[in-house]
Amino acid sequence: MKKITVYCGSKKGNSNQYEAAAKALGQEMVKRDLELVYGAGRVGLMGVIADEMLAGGKEVLGIIPQKLVDREVAHRGCTELIIVETMRDRKWLMAERGDGFIAMPGGIGTLEELFEIMTLNQLHYIQKPLALYNVNGYYNQLLGFLSHAKQEGFLYPEQEELLIVSDDPAKLLDKMAEYQARRPADW
């Protein structure tokens, strides 16, 4: 695992804990000589983690649609900035380029990316570790919903089991490094 795709908010959230956690994750990634793949934003938690990685001298690959470049949210300091046509192009390239995925706190876009990677792993289009950085219990209610979906028979048990969850960036990255792909579930 060399490149981590991080999904996170284009806002910083209402608590300073989220920004501090983004910095802590960036510092842990720098310490482990990891590279960042992300949505190329200069704003919100996206900008925070990118700045932390760049300050540590690490590679930062940003992938962003032209429409967002036009809105002036692109981080021009990325080591490599790839401008694509659509959000779909962005998401696929981010999935392809990363060796593992972390969803930090974020909004609808972060949730969409999280569920897309869960789906791609389930269908074995990819087999890469996926983690929730559960800062301040941000994802507790989502984890409760996933458990409910499993109990109701709409989620394969291994999908919930393969989702790595921690509020500690070191533990999160350790668990991701230990990830073992599994065979697809029977339909």
The model's pLDDT over 6-27, given as tens digits with 9 standing for 90+, comes to: 999 999 999 999 999 999 999 9
Confidence of residue 187 (pLDDT cuts 50, 70, 90): low
The CATH number of 3-173, from 3.20.20.30, 3.30.470.20, 3.40.50.450, 3.40.50.970, is 3.40.50.450
DSSP label of 1 = -
What is d(CA 104, CA 10) in angstroms, rounded to the nearest whole number? 11
Residue 72 in this model has a pLDDT that exceeds 90: no
Residues 6+ apart with CB under 8 A from 14: none
What is d(CA 26, CA 8) in angstroms, rounded to the nearest whole number? 12
Instruction: Output the average pLDDT for the chain.
Output: 94
Instruction: State both tokens at 34.
Output: 């990891």
Q: What is the SS3 assignment for 24?
A: helix
Nearest to 2 by CA among 44, 77, 59: 59
Rounded average pLDDT over 77-85: 97
What is d(CA 146, CA 141) in angstroms, rounded to the nearest whole number? 9
Higher pLDDT pick, 187 / 30:
30
Residue 185 in this model has a pLDDT that exceeds 70: no
Q: Which helix (H) or strand (E) holds 165?
A: strand 163-166
Q: What is the pLDDT of residue 91?
A: 95
How close are the terminal C-alpha atoms of the chain, in Å? Answer: 30
- Digit-coded pLDDT (tens) for 39-66: 999 999 999 999 999 999 999 999 999 9
Residue 40 C-beta-side C-alpha neighbours within 13 Å? 27
Q: Count CB neighbours of 77 within 10 A.
A: 13
Which residue carries 């289009």 as its tokens?
Answer: 125
pTM over 0.85? The answer is yes
Residues 6+ apart with CB under 8 A from 100: 1, 4, 5, 128, 129, 130, 131, 176, 179
Q: What is the pLDDT of residue 184?
A: 59
- Digit-coded pLDDT (tens) for 112-152: 999 999 999 988 899 999 999 999 999 999 999 999 999 99
